[in-house]
A and B are shown apart, each in its own frame.
Chain A
Amino acid sequence: MTCDDFRQWLETAGAGQMEKIPDAHRGHAESCAACRGVLEEERRWLRFFAAAPEPSAGRPAWPGVMARIREEESRRASLSDAVLLFSRRLAPAFALVVLLLGGVGLWRDMLPETREQVPATAAMLENGSGQETLSADEPDAVLIAWVGARVP
Chain B
Amino acid sequence: MTEALPYPLTLEDAERDAVRRVRDGDSDAYRLLVERYQARLHRLVGRLLGPDHGDVDDVVQEVFVKAFFSLSKFREDATFGTWITRIAINRARDELKKQSGKVYLDAEPGEDAVQGLRDLLTTDEPRDGEDGEPADSAASRLVARTVASLPDRLRVVVTLKDMEGNSYQEVAAILKCSVGTVKSRHARARERLRQMLAPHVSELARR
- Where the two chains meet, the residues of A that have a C-beta atom closer than 8 Å to any C-beta of B are 11-12, 14-15, 37, 41, 44-49, 51-62, 64-66, 68-69, 72
B117 touches A68 (CB 8 A): no
- Is B207 part of the contact surface with A, judged by Cβ < 8 Å? yes
Partner of A44, one of B45, B121, B136, B163: B121
Q: A51 CA to B120 CA in the complex, in Å?
A: 7
Residues of chain B with a CB closer than 8 A to A49's CB:
143, 147, 158, 162-163
Minimum CB–CB distance for B163 against chain A, Å: 5
Considering the complex, give the chain B residue whose CB is closest to the CB of A59: B57
Chain B residues 146-193 with CB under 8 Å of chain A are 147, 158, 162-163, 165, 167-168, 190, 193
Minimum CB–CB distance for B136 against chain A, Å: 6
Residues of chain A with a CB closer than 8 A to B206's CB:
41
Partner of B68, one of A37, A48, A65: A65
Considering the complex, give the chain A residue whose CB is closest to the CB of B47: A55
Majority secondary structure, B binding face: helix
Q: A61 CA to B124 CA in the complex, in Å?
A: 35
Q: A60 CA to B39 CA in the complex, in Å?
A: 9
| 8 more A-B residue pairs beyond the given contacts A51-B139, A66-B31, with a C-beta to C-beta distance below 8 A | A14-B167, A41-B204, A45-B190, A48-B120, A55-B45, A61-B57, A64-B57, A65-B30
Residues of chain B with a CB closer than 8 A to A11's CB:
168
Given A51-B136, A57-B39, A58-B39, A64 contacting B204 (CB threshold 8 A): no
Residues of chain B with a CB closer than 8 A to A52's CB:
47, 140, 143-144, 147, 163
Considering the complex, give the chain B residue whose CB is closest to the CB of A55: B46
Given A12-B167, A37-B207, A56-B46, A51 contacting B117 (CB threshold 8 A): yes
A65 touches B61 (CB 8 A): yes
A72 touches B69 (CB 8 A): yes
- Is B34 part of the contact surface with A, judged by Cβ < 8 Å? yes
- Is B19 part of the contact surface with A, judged by Cβ < 8 Å? no
- Is B92 part of the contact surface with A, judged by Cβ < 8 Å? no
Partner of B162, one of A45, A58, A61: A45
Chain B residues 105-134 with CB under 8 Å of chain A are 117, 120-122, 124
Given A61-B57, A69-B27, A72-B65, A51 contacting B39 (CB threshold 8 A): no
